[in-house]
Structure 1
């Protein structure tokens, strides 16, 4: 059986320089971010983590690092209210507390320094929403700068809370801008749960509105499972859509969505082809009137077969049988030219 797309992303089996994980309050991206980090360390890659909503100590308890890890701490004192704290080590990991007075320079500079020291590494940002509260423009420039560092050996994984509304700005919002920048999108969704309202609807056909339906009782129940809707933009120009399931059983496991939902998920692959005539200053296509005139045109050698002399005797007949080389292709009129 072919490997699932989410498993390929986690193991970096196929190139995806920038993975954006869109989560909600009902299904957090933290379990996937931790799994990305753990598998990177198992493959002897360096790990650079930018923490804005998670304590460094809690993060290290989740991943239990066995190799090099560098943490940029934007959680402890982001606004610089306390005394400056020097870098320190926890369980062999280097933690660098920083202030967010200048997002791009304070975060991008240490990341750039660490990427120069390692051939293969994973850059993880637990959430960009905290940074976006300070400046959406600077946050986008930061992620764009991190994305410019990516290669086949250097990857970027970013978490984004899709259900949090940021202040309106001119032009595309931060979420849409990050979607366009990412090479693969992962949208998380909890498994559907049957509530008392659904049972009532089955009996009466009436669905009452629940005023407290924003969070469900099964929210973030990773051991029960969740769904990941993946949009993967390949380098070849193909875009694949696939839905995978994941659940926690001593460790995060990636399973087919059918195993959790009972519904068959169809993997869809769309190939994007560029239009060669889109950027031309002149038109090569035919209008309906021109195409009709072309179809009604009688060629000279065809007309000559129907002509007779005055005395009723045919002066000659031309027999024309087109072969494969003379076949005219409407999609490629110049196919017979040796170019």
Structure 2
């Protein structure tokens, strides 16, 4: 899944590369840049944390015309006017103007390095609104943002990742010379797909991936712990002994009739019953008109 997203097979929308101080996700950003150049797409980079030379290191030197680096690293807040883009310019009109100033044959790819630096100077709701608007304007095909998840509250991280079509969380691999990427992708139907993969980035920003497999020899299973008996410390017995069970089975239930009782109830008795009615002096009964007492 990671290769499909980076190489553009499932490109489009907003992609978040989530990292921590334990493992940097900037090499994945360079893989996105390298893959976009190979597809013949223009790439716009908003560099607030790294210099242009550091980000271009390892990329093909012939790709210089396809990469448009907007320097924000020397002066990200615009105090000395040494930067071509500032944090305050991270909004839909200014970014649209930056992208449209360069002629493109098709929609470009926008790389944000990093969203964490921008979130330090803007309210999260403002950043989320700008990202949502950029997705709809259509001047950029794909937005890839680097997010340092350990620098923000979990609510802020979840809000930004909720807008993304895909989230790539990178971490160091145990006993491996590579990293582990947990990729979460949302399909058009809203279904979430997840996959963990080992990855390695070469010096020329080429990405190699292999699916993470769990080998039986490395899986440590915990021994089964005996379950506690909740009836062990009771002052009364909940279980019946063998003799008590036999005595219980011999007791006749009150709603179950024995054969003798059934025969006694069904045995016919001599004589038949009848009901006799004797009217008294207060009864007003007219044999010719039995319904005389009714007001009809």
Q: Describe the SS at the equivalent of 1:28.
A: coil
Shift of 1:108: 1.9
Counterpart of 1:178? 160
Select which of 2, 9, 26 maps to 2:5.
9
Pairs aligned (count): 214
Return the alpha-carbon distance in structure 2 between the equivalents of residues 226 and 260 of structure 1: 18
Question: Greater CA deviation, 97-106 or 176-185?
Answer: 97-106
TM-score by length of 1: 0.56
Runs of 5+ consecutive residues of structure 2 not aligned to the other structure: 220-296
Select which of 56, 74, 77 maps to 1:76.
74
Write out aligned runs for 1:41-190 (5 A).
41-65=37-61, 66=63, 67-82=65-80, 84-85=81-82, 97-104=84-91, 107-113=94-100, 117-136=104-123, 137-149=125-137, 154-165=141-152, 173-190=155-172
Counterpart of 1:22? 18
Larger Rg: 2
Shift of 1:124: 0.9
Counterpart of 2:181? 228
Return the alpha-carbon distance in structure 2 between the equivalents of residues 45 and 119 of structure 1: 7
Runs of 5+ consecutive residues of structure 1 not aligned to the other structure: 86-95, 167-171, 194-222, 265-339
Return the alpha-carbon distance in structure 1 between the equivalents of residues 47 and 93 of structure 2: 13
Q: 1:47, 1:123 within 8 Å by CA — same for their partners in 2?
A: yes
Q: RMSD value over aligned CA atoms? A: 3.0
1:256 aligns with 2:211: yes
The structure showing larger relative contact order (alpha-carbon pairs under 8 Å, at least 6 residues apart) is 2
Shift of 1:6: 0.4
Counterpart of 2:197? 244
Q: Deviations over 1:211-268 (max 9, x none)?
A: xxxxxxxxxxxx811111111111133321111110134443122223999879xxxx
Q: Describe the SS at the equivalent of 1:232.
A: strand
Q: Deviations over 1:306-339 (max 9, x none)?
A: xxxxxxxxxxxxxxxxxxxxxxxxxxxxxxxxxx
Shift of 1:103: 3.3
After superposition, the Cα gap between the structure-2 partners of 1:263 and 1:21, relative to the gap in structure 1 and judged at 3 Å, is farther
